[in-house]
Structure 1
Amino acid sequence: MKVADIMTTQVVTVRGHQSVAEAVRLMKAHHIFAVIVERRHDEDAYGMITELDIISKVTAYGRDPKKLRVYEVMQKPCIVVNPDLSIEYAARLFANTGIRCAPVIREKLLGMITATDILLKGDFLESPKEQYFEQAIQKAIQEARQICAEKGHASADCRVAWDIVEELQAEAAHQRAQSLEKTALEEYVEEYPEASILINLEEWCSG
């Protein structure tokens, strides 16, 4: 699943010159905890004002929200998300930055994604990415072995097939935040020493 599959398309916006009190009124009316601040022109950045911004910068100091403007409290520029980003990477972005929501933008504002969207609308319970990678890796290994047996270890097709395996394993390791002790290619070369050309070629190409 992608961000576009779970984002909220009905987005509430506010202008930077409006009062913080108006932003609070919008949050209450729509039962939301963040409002996107509109751009002033095409080259401008989107901003955001959240309940935490208001609590920490206004309420905590007893300031009058009717006299404060949104631009005095908002976050700008704010972190934005591409609609084609996978849910797993959106979740990682949230975890790494500590944000709870982000505008979804491709040239223009398309929607908003929140931590609640990821939790309630995502498919990570039914289709964990770890399971998907394991199946994809095993299939790619079988295909690479078959191609190399048919066309030879020195063939370009053999090299490409193992490149696919290596990329999948690297991505899976990144998802788990773990390093690989031994790749499938290294295990294959141990089994077929004559395939060492595949590793030697990789080392030669890298420098």
Structure 2
Amino acid sequence: MNTPVLVKDVMWREVDIIDSKSTVQSALNDMQHKKTKMLIVDKAHDHDEYGVVLIADIAAKVIAEGRSLERVNAYEIMSKPAISVHPNMDIRYCARFLTRLNLSRCPVLDNGKIVGVVSLTNIVLNGLRIV
């Protein structure tokens, strides 16, 4: 039997976490600087959940509505709780999970802590190299 390729084998380990009170302008600057399409919004306290802000959220909830990038905070447009996967999940199940939910990427959580981000691009390009 072949050893499965796991999420932890293909995920990005550099995670972009912002504060929920960050402005959308600040979040967008981070996205441009780090060349990412998703930022993770940090928990406010231990019993809170992580959120995510996607480029699509900024387009739909800020730009399309004519709101100011400087006056909208990340918490106003984020999706929370963030849908996440475990680092030991087989990439085949992760790919099914993401496509079923119409997502291209999500955070990877281990024991309630963010350890990475996985995307369909990571799975397709890196998963093939490892197999």
Query: How far apart, CA to CA, are the structure 1 residues paired with 2:110 and 2:54?
Result: 22
* Number of the residue aligned with 1:25: 29
Q: Matched residues in 2 for 1:89 and 1:64: separation?
A: 39
TM-score, normalized by length of structure 1?
Answer: 0.59
1:69 corresponds to? 73
Give how far 1:71 is off. Answer: 0.4
1:66 and 1:126 map into 2 onto residues whose CA distance is 43
SS in 2 for 1:122: helix
Paired residue secondary structure (2:33): helix
Whole-angstrom distance in 1 between the partners of 2:94 and 2:58: 25
Residue 115 of structure 2 is aligned to residue 110 of structure 1: yes
Q: Which has the higher strand share?
A: 2
Q: Deviations over 1:62-105 (max 9, x none)?
A: 11010000000000001010000000000001110001111100
Residues 124-179 of structure 1, C-alpha deviations (whole Å, 9 max, x = no match): x885xxxxxxxxxxxxxxxxxxxxxxxxxxxxxxxxxxxxxxxxxxxxxxxxxxxx
In the TM superposition, what are the counterparts of 1:31-46 in structure 2 within 5 Å? Answer: 31-46=35-50
Alignment CA distance shift 1:59-1:104 (3 Å): same
Amino acid at match of 1:115: L
Secondary structure at the aligned position of 1:109 is classed as strand
Task: Measure, in 2, the Cα distance between the counterparts of 1:27 and 1:65.
Answer: 14
Q: 1 CA distance for matches of 2:118 and 2:108?
A: 7
Question: Secondary structure of 1:16's partner?
Answer: coil
- The unaligned stretches of length 5 or more in structure 2 are none
Using CA pairs under 8 Å that are at least 6 residues apart, name the structure with larger relative contact order, 1 or 2: 2
Give the corresponding residue for 1:8: 12
What is the DSSP-based 3-state SS (H/G/I as helix, E as strand, rest coil) of the residue aligned with 1:44? coil
**Is 1:87 matched up with 2:91?**
yes
TM-score (norm 2): 0.92
Gaps of 5+ in 1: 128-207
- Residue 122 of structure 2 aligns to a residue in which SS? helix
- What is the aligned partner in structure 1 of residue 126 from structure 2? 121
**Match of 2:64, SS?**
helix
* Structure 1 position 13, deviation (Å): 0.8
* SS across alignment from 2:125: helix
SS in structure 1 of the partner of residue 88 of structure 2: coil
Q: How many residue pairs end up in the alignment?
A: 126
Aligned residue for 1:78? 82
